[in-house]
Structure 1
């Protein structure tokens, strides 16, 4: 029964509430009918009809409108529990907005009726609902989806303090060593005292990335040797700082390189007085000129040897300290070839691969891997994935074989076995491979072991056959000796991939240590393409963020964008990880960013735990016939159209996100996980990162909700039982208990970062430092140039 003539404000309120509710109902009905027609859930049609009727009645100031709204909430709650169970974030997406609306409608009841009993009931229900909404909102500030396998964790040895006599007190390679370990035996900073870490000093490179001026990003992991900390910038400067004060010692600038892809993830260190020759006859290395040097890759394809003490080019290396890596490469258009990762120093060799621009055209620069004499810069050997007859210089005036699989992430080296391990990408372009050669298919998306003495392949293992998804083997291979119960060890190699799979191999032979199964996969029908009938699934190791999606996995910040995600999901073709691209819209999950990407892993050899961070971003994409691509359209390396010039198809790609810019699958969108390399079990997994510095439509939410955001960058493990990580989408360096995954410390950074933290001890002061380079991250326009060192008081 209506209340009689209400005041103007009351009429406006009930009218607005009715209109908003009715519009929500219409949205649900229209979208829900589309979803139901696609074979999806019928909930939205029913819920929409209830909301529409509720809105009309509320607009007319009828109590029945509030009752119908309550029925809608009850119906939605039952459906949500049936749809997703008791999972917090999926329930939050389905219920929070409607529950908050129910609170408003409950307290609107006094405007809809004079019945005191009904008003009292509404007030009570509204109060209970308000408490529930507040509790749910508070719950959003607690981590959810945590996995802790207590039985596995209990078998890990007790953390022991490091032995000062054997501690690795410096950080002399991109991952601390050539094994991809990212481990330090330093143990002054512990889970008990990490809370006391404070900023010891901050330095500035003076070269922050300029947003919108080319594809530039600061992703550098510094090196530390003796009293020097070395940092390189996206704009190709190399800077030495004092490790105790942050005072700049010298700077070398090699020029800005190119404007299409500006990165310096790392540099390499070589000491001629300690290096062993791995080629030719053994003999003393030349040490009269710059015996301690840094190898600095530039954005325009040069390798510069820099005296580590003076910052001057090493005069006896190449041409006054520089080797032009474009030599022997044939035509290299500006921006089509550069180094994106640190070179590898193996004995007296410096070994480089190279990044090529993805998807612009066929016959892009070669994916050749080359080894140079670290003293003279002389080319020692070359491995050309397209021509096994090549051993050093190219056999044709056109250069090494073009368009072959390349090595764009860091490599690893086992000095005892004399093997270098290369993670490869696939031959370009990425999303149509009908014209690839047998050699392209042999080495694409693989781990390839080369003999360090001559560069000849010893073995290779392929993680993806005939890769149509840009599922490169990513991350520096981890070389780890797994202890056996009889006291022996198994020399292992762990490789992470964009598919979210972890491959555990015997690094002597490339044979699996953990089970790998060849499973049938979906076949496509693009004209001219061919498809691998099977793909290698790593069944003996945990999968990270690669579960097969279903409609109920769709998510959104509200039910409205969740509905759009459901429609997009049901209107696309999707058959799991290896859903092939075609002329119709297909979903790729994980997407071409991963899964796991270039940051690699870290490991604690005292507990056998390997630490893996991931990102969970899908794509929806389709092939575009070349004739339908507008003339003159340029490719985008990220999202949008990629022309793939010279092929019958281009490709359109977009992130699989809701209209609000939120990933369509349920959280977490990024995690940190611990995997036991001896038992092959997942020990723990925790969401990483909050929405404080990001959010829907790219707007920072400003709230520390630990939803778990996409991660990109390396981690650091220490013997004291800590894992440091900063490659999140909020601006923090964090420390986790490596046994449990519990976050026990964090420090606010001025901007985001994709750089790897390092640690070292100063011989001068005895202090252990943790250092991070904070230059910004892709999701935020905020950039910086901060090198920050932490220590205990």
Structure 2
């Protein structure tokens, strides 16, 4: 039916609305037809036909075009409810854009008809739909998908009795202790007064990372000893600050080292006047030269001992304060080996593993773990995963066994049991294991317990057999004593993995505390490869490792969701352990996690362990070496990966929509609390908003709490607080650790991947919370801010 002929502006408007609807219909028809041909949903094809008809009719100024769009919207609502139920973000993705279009078309109906009842009805309907759209938009600012299984409190839990202020007064290790706890007993800052935290001081390193010039990121968790705060930088400086004013005391610069991978996640602290001699218990330690020292790893494979008071190298350690970690390693090309995590100080030993560059080639540097005398720098023992006969120096002129599994994240130490716990990666290259040795397979993606005095393995537990996915064991092992109902205590170890699984073991023996089941997994058919028939599945709650379906595909709009569905249906996907092949396959969790290097924190008063994760899948395929384009090839990143020396390389991309958002539905990152006694999930909340990120990398500027990928450590306190800054928006947050409720946040100048720490000053009596804000990987904004907070 025609109405009064609209004016020129009205005709242009209808032509514009009709053309856009027509183009949407054509897009849906083309993509929907492809999806249907792949065996996916027919919704998009049918909706495309309806939209095409609607668009053509609207351009011809027919009222039937608006009616046809209304039918499309009703069809979309019915299909969406059938597809995903009442889940907010999946419905938002499917219906927000069509509903917004319906508002425009409803308000355009008066241009299509002269009948007043229809005009009034369409305007009223447009208002109703607009109210719904606005309500959905407002609702998007409230967190969704929160899980709370009861409100816990320290008074009613069956955790440990921990007196206020009973722990170490200083933050002397990366995780505050050698057990990976990231827990503080300081009690001044509480859930009731945390809202009053203010910036006490801000200091600057003066070394802002330059994006695009080398692979450099600030990820340091500071140490605090006495009246000094120690910060190391990606560009290899170690700086001491006054803990009450932020004033710089001294600075040591070791040189930038290399430009391929620049990180300093932490340093180690040693006090010769109090340390136990674990190798020779009856022998006193020489405390005459630099008795309090910091162990500082450099990007080019050096370990430097620095006097904690003066900032000068400790003259009696190694050669003028330096041990060259490349000794005994054979050929080490620039950038192929360095420390990426804090050295572990265990008694009078300083123990280092090493980050070995992934996926460039076979025969890369060894994954050996070594212990040096913390006073002299003398090599005490070495654990070579490829040769059990090695106990100290390598047995061949070529050095330790090359290309073996390495330890690139933080280690833990139990002084009572006399064991050090090593989380391992896998033998590089990562994605083809046909040439790996028996020892490579034995120790890859494992927790290995070694005797602290000898370095000899006591037990090991493997989280992934014959790892073809780069599913390293990524978290510093948490050593935690579980109080049993009969009054006994189980010395446990909790380990996280990129698979999103958590393994709870008896740290004396490596035997499971929470059941672990070997389950059959898919077998691949890549020539020359071998496959494990089973993989270990933990009964502990899984974090971000659910099996995806087509309905889980997401996007900021139905248009990019359609492309994600096409990607999903055109790829092979068989769950967590989908084996690589010559066809395109999906990997979820991806090789970034799951759970990455930030590890966990714990509150022993409630038995709660806190885990943050990132949920970002990959799609990839293996490519015969002869087919890789000349000049192509990266290592750990996306795109072409050569894997020189193997018959196959690979090509990998993140599973993201054309708009640059993850293809699976939110959340993309969470904080979770897991009860280590009951083995159950206590709560889980999305963490992070799109304020400083968004489609196509453009910050949205809105605090929509979708839950964004996280990277970095957390901090738990006895008073029931959980501090965290490793989100994709620029905030340090505090949560009620019993419930997961966010109760405070402070805007940072840039993002952070660093761990918050807390300490009390003996001089002022103030408790501080400190964070290093150097930037986060999703953003080009970088900083050099060390920020301390305290109560007024």
Scaled by the length of structure 2, the TM-score of the pair is: 0.99
- Note the residue ranges of structure 2 that are not aligned, 5 or more in a row: none
Residues 153 and 606 in structure 2, CA contact (< 8 A), matched pair in contact too: no
Q: Describe the SS at the equivalent of 1:28.
A: helix
| C-alpha distance in structure 1 between counterparts of 2:251 and 2:641, whole Å | 38
Aligned to 2:754: 755
Deviation per residue, 1:265-310 (Å, 9 max, x gap): 0000000000001113522100110000000000000000000000
Aligned to 2:462: 462
Deviation per residue, 1:523-582 (Å, 9 max, x gap): 10100000000000002x100010000000000000000000000000000000000110
Describe how 1:257-656 pairs up with structure 2 within 5 A.
257-280=257-280, 282-539=282-539, 541-656=540-655
Deviation at 1:480, TM superposition (A): 0.1
Q: Describe the SS at the equivalent of 2:623.
A: strand
Aligned to 1:719: 718
Residues 726 and 734 in structure 1, CA contact (< 8 A), matched pair in contact too: yes
Aligned to 2:661: 662
Describe how 1:54-203 pairs up with structure 2 within 5 A.
54-150=54-150, 156-157=156-157, 163=163, 166-203=166-203
| C-alpha distance in structure 2 between counterparts of 1:168 and 1:185, whole Å | 8
Aligned to 1:731: 730
| C-alpha distance in structure 2 between counterparts of 1:686 and 1:162, whole Å | 26
Residues 152 and 681 in structure 1, CA contact (< 8 A), matched pair in contact too: no
Deviation at 1:159, TM superposition (A): 10
| C-alpha distance in structure 2 between counterparts of 1:448 and 1:240, whole Å | 34
Deviation at 1:150, TM superposition (A): 1.3
Residues 318 and 376 in structure 1, CA contact (< 8 A), matched pair in contact too: yes
Aligned to 1:225: 225
| C-alpha distance in structure 1 between counterparts of 2:373 and 2:342, whole Å | 16
| C-alpha distance in structure 1 between counterparts of 2:191 and 2:56, whole Å | 59
Q: Describe the SS at the equivalent of 1:107.
A: helix
Residues 475 and 597 in structure 2, CA contact (< 8 A), matched pair in contact too: yes
Deviation per residue, 1:334-354 (Å, 9 max, x gap): 000000000000000000000
Q: Describe the SS at the equivalent of 2:82.
A: helix
| C-alpha distance in structure 1 between counterparts of 2:282 and 2:167, whole Å | 30
| C-alpha distance in structure 2 between counterparts of 1:386 and 1:240, whole Å | 39
Describe how 1:10-29 pairs up with structure 2 within 5 A.
10-29=10-29
Deviation at 1:633, TM superposition (A): 2.7
Residues 500 and 544 in structure 2, CA contact (< 8 A), matched pair in contact too: yes
| C-alpha distance in structure 1 between counterparts of 2:188 and 2:738, whole Å | 17
Deviation per residue, 1:341-384 (Å, 9 max, x gap): 00000000000000000000001000000000000000000000
| C-alpha distance in structure 2 between counterparts of 1:86 and 1:187, whole Å | 42
| C-alpha distance in structure 2 between counterparts of 1:160 and 1:411, whole Å | 24
Deviation per residue, 1:713-755 (Å, 9 max, x gap): 0000000000000000000000000000000000000000100
| C-alpha distance in structure 1 between counterparts of 2:4 and 2:269, whole Å | 84
| C-alpha distance in structure 2 between counterparts of 1:775 and 1:327, whole Å | 32
| C-alpha distance in structure 1 between counterparts of 2:80 and 2:721, whole Å | 39
Deviation per residue, 1:578-625 (Å, 9 max, x gap): 001100000000000000000000000011000000000000000010
| C-alpha distance in structure 2 between counterparts of 1:637 and 1:499, whole Å | 17
Residues 159 and 607 in structure 2, CA contact (< 8 A), matched pair in contact too: no
The runs of at least 4 aligned residues of structure 1 exceeding 3 Å deviation read 151-156, 158-165
| C-alpha distance in structure 2 between counterparts of 1:281 and 1:217, whole Å | 40
Residues 473 and 497 in structure 2, CA contact (< 8 A), matched pair in contact too: yes
Q: Describe the SS at the equivalent of 1:108.
A: helix
| C-alpha distance in structure 2 between counterparts of 1:489 and 1:113, whole Å | 79
Q: Describe the SS at the equivalent of 2:91.
A: helix
Counterparts in 2 of 1:252 and 1:329: CA distance versus 1, 3 Å? same
Counterparts in 2 of 1:445 and 1:165: CA distance versus 1, 3 Å? closer
Deviation at 1:168, TM superposition (A): 2.4
Residues 160 and 719 in structure 1, CA contact (< 8 A), matched pair in contact too: no
| C-alpha distance in structure 1 between counterparts of 2:633 and 2:30, whole Å | 37
Q: Describe the SS at the equivalent of 1:215.
A: coil
Counterparts in 2 of 1:14 and 1:161: CA distance versus 1, 3 Å? farther
Q: Describe the SS at the equivalent of 2:518.
A: strand
Residues 562 and 658 in structure 1, CA contact (< 8 A), matched pair in contact too: yes
Q: Describe the SS at the equivalent of 1:545.
A: coil
Q: Which is worse superposed, 155-164 or 666-675?
A: 155-164
- Note the residue ranges of structure 1 that are not aligned, 5 or more in a row: none
Q: Describe the SS at the equivalent of 2:231.
A: strand
Q: Describe the SS at the equivalent of 2:561.
A: helix
Counterparts in 2 of 1:346 and 1:154: CA distance versus 1, 3 Å? closer
Q: Describe the SS at the equivalent of 2:144.
A: coil
Residues 195 and 743 in structure 2, CA contact (< 8 A), matched pair in contact too: yes
Aligned-residue CA RMSD (Å): 1.2
Q: Describe the SS at the equivalent of 1:150.
A: coil
| C-alpha distance in structure 1 between counterparts of 2:196 and 2:336, whole Å | 46
Deviation at 1:167, TM superposition (A): 3.5
Residues 165 and 186 in structure 2, CA contact (< 8 A), matched pair in contact too: no
Q: Describe the SS at the equivalent of 1:493.
A: strand
Scaled by the length of structure 1, the TM-score of the pair is: 0.99
| C-alpha distance in structure 1 between counterparts of 2:161 and 2:25, whole Å | 62
Deviation per residue, 1:73-111 (Å, 9 max, x gap): 111000000000000000000000000000000000000
Deviation at 1:3, TM superposition (A): 1.8
Aligned to 2:763: 764
Residues 154 and 606 in structure 2, CA contact (< 8 A), matched pair in contact too: no
Q: Describe the SS at the equivalent of 2:274.
A: coil
Residues 293 and 308 in structure 1, CA contact (< 8 A), matched pair in contact too: yes
Residues 480 and 492 in structure 2, CA contact (< 8 A), matched pair in contact too: yes
| C-alpha distance in structure 2 between counterparts of 1:266 and 1:638, whole Å | 23
Residues 159 and 720 in structure 1, CA contact (< 8 A), matched pair in contact too: no
Q: Describe the SS at the equivalent of 1:304.
A: strand
Deviation at 1:396, TM superposition (A): 0.3
Deviation at 1:486, TM superposition (A): 1.6
Residues 344 and 412 in structure 2, CA contact (< 8 A), matched pair in contact too: yes
Q: Describe the SS at the equivalent of 2:590.
A: coil
| C-alpha distance in structure 2 between counterparts of 1:12 and 1:476, whole Å | 63
Residues 168 and 186 in structure 1, CA contact (< 8 A), matched pair in contact too: no
Residues 159 and 604 in structure 2, CA contact (< 8 A), matched pair in contact too: no
Residues 22 and 54 in structure 2, CA contact (< 8 A), matched pair in contact too: yes
Deviation at 1:632, TM superposition (A): 3.3
| C-alpha distance in structure 1 between counterparts of 2:611 and 2:786, whole Å | 24
